[in-house]
Chains A and B, each alone.
Chain A
Amino acid sequence: MAIAESRQSKVVVNTSSAGELKAACDTGLKEFLKERGYEEMHTHTDVKLVLGYVGIIFCAIDFAYSWKYPFSQTKWFSYISVSVYAVTSALALVYSYVVQRDTFFVGYNKAKGHIVSAGSRTKRNEPTYRLTLTTRPIRGRQDPPVYNSKPLEMKQPFAAWFHDDGEFARQKFNSDVDAAIDALLAKKAE
């Protein structure tokens, strides 16, 4: 339902904000891939949520404990909770920078047996959308051929997909992305 609604609704952004332009393109790509049968995999988000909330739970328990009982009595638990918090925060940061990087969408296509991962970035003061697409087979599936997993990079200036007034030209965007995905999946057969 949500996909049908957004297809009909106009997306208008502030063309001088690189953040908004990138966000509109990211969302557009997500919706396009979902329509093409890729179900979203939330692994990256889940890892960060778990790490974050473990830290928060320890913090909450420590807060309650040290509120009720004096410092000298609760010190031992505070050592534990501060260490846990520091470790989980550091892990979440490392995960974000090393594993996730620019990825904003990971989707799996059960029918075709592969996973597509999309990442994007913009350079400062350069209104260009740099999209990186990678694909890998779903673990355990033997039928897809072995992949050449070099990423496919596509870059286009934002002007290609946005009207002057900031309206997102969804059709053009979808057809460009479509071509990119086809090229990505064609590469794999090498």
Chain B
Amino acid sequence: MEFLSQAKKFGVRSLLLQGLTFLSVLTSAFMIWKGLSLFTNSESPVVVVLSGSMKPAYDRGDILFLHNGFSPIEVGEVVVYKLNDKPIPIVHRVMKVHTENESGEQYLLTKGDYNNADDRGLYSPGQMWIQRDEIIGRVKGFVPYAGMGTIWMNDYPHLKLVLLGTLCILSLFSND
């Protein structure tokens, strides 16, 4: 047990300090992500496009930057939404908006630019409209094809191991 011997030699404090240095890296990354998430009011402010249904505007592999905020959605905005029982977010354009007069509740119909039909075929059975709270965010910016690496690593899981292995080997050769 390597760190028990280190603990005896240098004390618990030195272990805690090392732990702190290491954990600070992880926690600051997570906190920055969370902070961005809270600022945009979006559960995932950066997403990768998985299909070509929004061509020619967005193609598979594009990275999208989202901002949700609290304001009502307007027709023509490109939004990312997640249906309650499906894990994969979809990025399409809003075609129709109905707003209830009293509550301000919105009912939205979306369609991918490259698709022939609207999204009612994708919604849950019986669902004709999506709600404002199913929207993860509106697209505010994008980087074309920058997300292809993520897609490859999902399609070919052993690529993750190759990447991890390369990083480990490189870190062995670095000076510090």
- Taken together as a complex, chains A and B put the C-alpha atoms of A72 and B13 apart, in Å, by 39
When chains A and B are docked, how far (Å) is the Cα of A82 from the Cα of B9? 36
Partner of B16 from the list A49, A70, A71, A75 (CB cut-off 8 Å) is: A49
B13 touches A59 (CB 8 A): no
In-complex Cβ contact of A56 among B23, B34, B43 (8 A): B23
Task: Flag whether B152 is at the interface (Cβ < 8 A).
Answer: no
- Please count how many residues in chain A sit with their CB below 8 Å of the partner chain's CB atoms: 26
| A78 in contact with B37 (CB, 8 Å) | yes
Tell me if A85 and B31 are in contact (CB < 8 A). yes
Pick the most buried of A66, A71, A79, A86: most chain B CB atoms within 10 A of its CB. Answer: A71
Q: Is A81 an interface residue (CB 8 A)?
A: yes
Give every chain A residue within 8 A of B31 (Cβ-Cβ): 59, 81-82, 85-86
Binding site for A on B (CB under 8 A): 9, 13, 16-17, 20, 23-24, 27-28, 30-31, 34-35, 37-38, 43, 133
Nearest 3 pairs of A and B residues by beta carbon: A71-B43, A59-B27, A52-B20
Task: Identify 21 residue pairs between A and B in the complex whose beta-carbon atoms are under 8 Å apart, listed by A's number.
Answer: A2-B9, A42-B13, A45-B17, A48-B20, A49-B13, A49-B16, A49-B20, A52-B24, A53-B20, A55-B27, A59-B31, A60-B27, A62-B34, A71-B37, A71-B43, A72-B43, A78-B34, A78-B38, A82-B34, A82-B38, A85-B31
